[in-house]
């Protein structure tokens, strides 16, 4: 594992495997003018003052890709991995420190190399320590693989309690999609039979069923399906199963194919027109039918009228129905939350609201560029009212309005001058100022932009007592800021965390 060419720089690389969907690419490079031989060894007993887990419990391992080398067992909550440097003297040097996180499903890997002074970090904040969150499956390499460097895979060991939980509470066979026979991926549930499938699998089944017959039958029991929607509770179980047994994970190309087929973003109502007619038995039933009916089921608008096999979406704002149509060039889902809204669709069809067909206000769903803001959203700065007041005072001090500031940062957002990593919206990379969003997602976007406005603000715009505050170790992720006003006042929380599980 030696580097013999003195014209090539040594570097240490910690990377997340791109084939694992929950990991994002991350590289740490360490540049040195001296070449070393690395041999990993776990820290001996007594070298760490941190709490220790039970002697017989190995919570994680570093597993070498080359079977000729031994595994490194991690028993301590904090373990320093050392390297023996063989140049002028044989000294053991700290390579990295691996700290188990409180969620027990990940760890913080911190660079401890003695050549830290020459470190060049990519994707790390300049003021932060050189650390990265690693999870089960993360790959740790001492150097480029094409030059023969050793690689290790980080593996979280399941505890007895987690094994017992899976065995007792859930038979994995019941968590499999009957179409592809694998563990659910982005699980959806069909009603009234309540069978579960992969989103991509059922979406393809739905498409083919609509081409062949007027009703959609459940692939498992052949019952007529009236409703299908994403099941967020089972999605969490799906993730827990794959974490407990990584061997059940699919190949990355299979995941990409499933995601490309998935069309169920918000709840779909199938055969709704037929079911509504059957329920019309009394005046009260009729009133309920009209409250949530689709105008195009009874009347042709824009050259289109629903038929018996039309799939319907239910608007998240008014509760009304509209046909699911992907070929009309009108957005029916908010890209930020994947929920359905009817305002833009009915406007394009020339349908006006009435007593029999209540429709959404256009304000509920329209492009970002057409929206205005007059107050700082309650979500801004993680609901920290003290930081919200500071932002409001700063904008006034600059002689500007909130709308002017937000419009300026939306322009920066469009030009991709802002890191979207922490953006709290789905499909963040696809959103522009022309994207229609719901009011809730717009508030989230404004809150996100105000964070960057504050981070880049010149200190002289702040009051002296605000500018002199030290950053909170936990930054925007601090939980104390919500219930301790004194802590919120004394520390700046519009900053990135330097402790905890956030990097």
The 10s digit of each residue's pLDDT in 454-472 is 998 887 788 888 888 999 9
Mean pLDDT of 373-397: 93
**What is the rounded radius of gyration, in angstroms, for the C-alpha atoms of the chain?**
28
Phi–psi pair at 278, nearest 5 degrees? -65, -30
| Domain boundaries, given as residue ranges, for the chain | 13-157, 163-264, 269-360, 370-492
pLDDT digits (tens, 9 = 90+) for 26-41: 333 333 332 333 333 3
Structure tokens at 154: 């980080």
Mean pLDDT of 336-341: 90
**Which distant-in-sequence residues (6+ apart) come within 8 Å of 154 by Cβ?**
60, 61, 62, 63, 107, 109, 134, 135, 136, 137, 138, 139, 140
Same fold, 13-157 and 269-360: no
pLDDT number for residue 93: 63
CA pair distance 473, 498, nearest whole angstrom:
5
Mean pLDDT of 333-337: 91
261 has pLDDT over 80? yes
Candidates 1.10.1660, 2.60.200, 1.10.10, 1.10.3470; correct CATH number of 13-157? Answer: 2.60.200
**Beta strand residue intervals within 88-247, DSSP E:** 90-100, 106-111, 119-121, 131-135, 139-141, 151-156, 187-191, 196-198, 227-230
The third-level CATH classification (topology) of the domain covering 269-360 is: Herpes Virus-1 (3.30.40)
DSSP tag of 183: B
Reported pTM: 0.55
Among 127-141, 206-220, 407-421, which stretch is predicted with the lowest mean pLDDT? 127-141
37 dihedral zone (left: phi>0; alpha: psi -120 to 50; beta): beta
Residue 427 vs residue 270, higher pLDDT: 427
340 has pLDDT over 80? yes
367 has pLDDT over 90? yes
| Mode of pairing for the β-strands spanning 72-74 and 151-156 | unpaired
The third-level CATH classification (topology) of the domain covering 163-264 is: Herpes Virus-1 (3.30.40)
CA pair distance 447, 184, nearest whole angstrom:
34
């Amino acid at each position: 594992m030696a580097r013999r060419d003195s014209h090539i720089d040594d570097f240490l690389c910690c990377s997340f495997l791109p084939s694992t969907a929950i990991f994002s690419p991350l590289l740490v490079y360490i540049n040195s003018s001296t070449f070393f031989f690395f041999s990993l060894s776990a820290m001996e007993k007594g070298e760490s003052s941190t709490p220790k887990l039970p002697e017989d419990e190995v919570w994680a391992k570093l597993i070498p890709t080359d079977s000729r080398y031994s595994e490194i067992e991690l028993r301590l909550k904090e373990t320093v991995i050392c390297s023996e440097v063989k140049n002028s003297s044989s000294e053991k040097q700290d390579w990295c420190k691996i700290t188990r996180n409180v969620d027990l499903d990940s760890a913080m890997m911190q660079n401890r190399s003695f050549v830290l002074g020459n470190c060049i970090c990519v994707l790390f904040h300049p003021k932060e320590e050189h650390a990265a969150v690693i999870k089960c499956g993360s790959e740790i390499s001492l150097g480029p693989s094409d030059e023969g460097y050793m690689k290790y895979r980080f593996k979280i060991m399941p505890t007895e309690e987690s094994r017992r939980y899976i065995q007792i509470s859930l038979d994995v066979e019941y968590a499999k999609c009957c179409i592809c026979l694998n563990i659910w991926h982005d699980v959806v549930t069909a009603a009234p039979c309540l069978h579960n499938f992969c989103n991509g699998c059922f979406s393809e089944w739905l498409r083919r069923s609509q081409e062949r017959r007027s009703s959609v039958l459940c692939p498992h029991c052949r019952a007529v399906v009236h409703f299908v929607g994403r099941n967020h509770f089972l999605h969490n179980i799906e993730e827990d199963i794959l974490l407990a047994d990584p061997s059940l994970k699919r190949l990355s190309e299979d995941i990409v194919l499933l995601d490309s087929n998935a069309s169920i973003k918000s709840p779909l109502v199938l055969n709704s027109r037929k079911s509504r007619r059957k329920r019309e038995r009394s005046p009260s039933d009729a009133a309920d039918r009209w409250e949530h009916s689709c105008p195009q089921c009874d009347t042709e608008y824009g050259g289109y009228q629903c038929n018996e096999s039309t799939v319907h979406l239910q608007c998240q704002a008014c509760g009304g129905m509209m046909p699911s149509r992907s070929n009309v060039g009108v957005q029916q889902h908010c890209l930020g939350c994947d929920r359905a809204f009817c305002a833009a669709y009915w406007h394009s069809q020339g349908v006006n609201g009435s007593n029999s067909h209540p429709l959404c206000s256009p304000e509920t769903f329209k492009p970002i560029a057409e929206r205005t803001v007059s107050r700082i959203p309650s979500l801004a700065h993680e609901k920290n009212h003290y930081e919200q007041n500071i932002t409001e005072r700063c904008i006034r001090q600059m002689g500007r309005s909130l709308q002017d500031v937000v419009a300026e940062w939306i322009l920066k957002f469009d030009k991709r001058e802002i890191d979207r990593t922490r953006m709290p919206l789905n499909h963040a990379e696809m959103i522009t100022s022309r994207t229609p969003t719901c009011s809730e997602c717009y508030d989230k976007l404004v809150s996100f932009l105000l964070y960057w406005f504050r981070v880049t603000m010149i200190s002289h715009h702040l009051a002296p007592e605000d500018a002199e505050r030290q950053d909170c170790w936990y930054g925007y992720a601090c939980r104390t800021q919500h219930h301790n006003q004194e802590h919120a006042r004394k520390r700046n929380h519009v900053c990135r965390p330097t402790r905890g599980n956030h990097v």
